[in-house]
Amino acid sequence: MPTLAHYLLVSGGLFSIGLAGVLLRRNILIIFMGLELMLNAANLSLVAFSRFHPGHDGLPGYNAQVLVFFIITVAAAEVAVGLAIIVALFRAKQTTHVEDLDTLKF
């Protein structure tokens, strides 16, 4: 039987992969995908905790699942706005490469 530790390690691994995408890839779209991976890794650990720590009534912690639901919703909104920004950025700069987007410096 898989234990809580299993799920936490998978969640951490997925988070690390997402972080690697954010830190190492230089295409802003891929960076964005990395962000989504990190969000979902967090969701996985939330759901795992809710399953492994049922309440006094013997049911999973549904509050955690509601939180996951909210995260998914906010992430959807975030994706929509973020992609719109990327489109606007591309229109202005003709690139999605972050090293070409370095105006914000001293």
Between CA 89 and CA 28 the distance in angstroms is 10
Site string for another protein, 51-90 (x = CB under 8 A): xx-x--xxxx-xx-xx-xxx-xxxxxxxxxx-xxxxxx-x
Residues numbered 15 to 44 that lie near another protein (CB under 8 A) are 15-34, 36-37, 40, 43-44
> In angstroms, what is the minimal distance from the CB of 9 to another protein?
6
Tell me the site size for another protein, rule CB under 8 A. Answer: 83
Between CA 87 and CA 28 the distance in angstroms is 11
Residue 1 DSSP SS3? coil
| Phi and psi at residue 27, to the nearest 5° | -90, 125
Between CA 22 and CA 18 the distance in angstroms is 6
> In angstroms, what is the minimal distance from the CB of 77 to another protein?
4
> In angstroms, what is the minimal distance from the CB of 26 to another protein?
7
